[in-house]
Amino acid sequence: MKVIGLTGGVGSGKSTVAEMLRELGATVIDADQAAHEVYAPGTPGFEAVVAEFGPDVVRDGAIDRQRLGALVFNDDAARRRLNAIVHPLVREWMAARTAEAVERGDEIVIQDVPLLFENGLEGLFSSVLLVYAPEDIQLERLAQGRGVPRERARAIIAAQMPIEEKRRRAHHVVDNSGTIDQTRNQVEEVWAQMSGR
């Protein structure tokens, strides 16, 4: 079985490409979904986050991801404390989903990991697929598509490894700055290479 890392920059369209890969038959395991699951209400992760950051990060009985994100975004020490809680739980959750894929006999598992390069995880994968969009397009997608104020969008992009550096490190690149059909054609080509078809 091959385990492939899927990553990109914020606003690059990684979710779109992940969905296309699912349609082609890939098993996609999503680190963002894992992060939601591991601190869902009633889990040890939920209890640990509340114990560390206080009841203000809870809204309607669940972790308020926006409030928690705002709290840790500009505070390196707080972000490290959060990561120390969440990252081990996310790794366990993803390992469990990967083990289930092995039991089913899946040939290729794609782990969707937003900060794959930033966290030095590329060595865990057979290869890494990057969803690429230039910074100006990332900025537009965050500002126009998600309504993020431009200064905040710039800060979010700046907090990640530069997309051009990620592009140099990746084994496969899907350039998602064109049309949806252009992206789909590239995804199909990369899937054929990865799956040996």
How confident is the model over 77-86, as pLDDT tens digits? 998 899 899 9
**How many whole angstroms separate alpha carbon 150 and alpha carbon 140?**
8
At the fourth CATH level, the homologous superfamily of domain 2-195 is: P-loop containing nucleotide triphosphate hydrolases (3.40.50.300)
Q: Where are the domains of the chain?
A: 2-195
As a whole number of angstroms, the longest Cα–Cα distance in the chain is: 51
Amino acid at 139: L
**How many whole angstroms separate alpha carbon 119 and alpha carbon 34?**
16
User: H or E segment at 154?
Assistant: helix 150-159
How confident is the model over 143-189, as pLDDT tens digits? 888 888 888 889 888 888 999 999 999 999 999 999 999 999 999 99
How confident is the model over 5-24, as pLDDT tens digits? 999 999 999 999 999 999 99
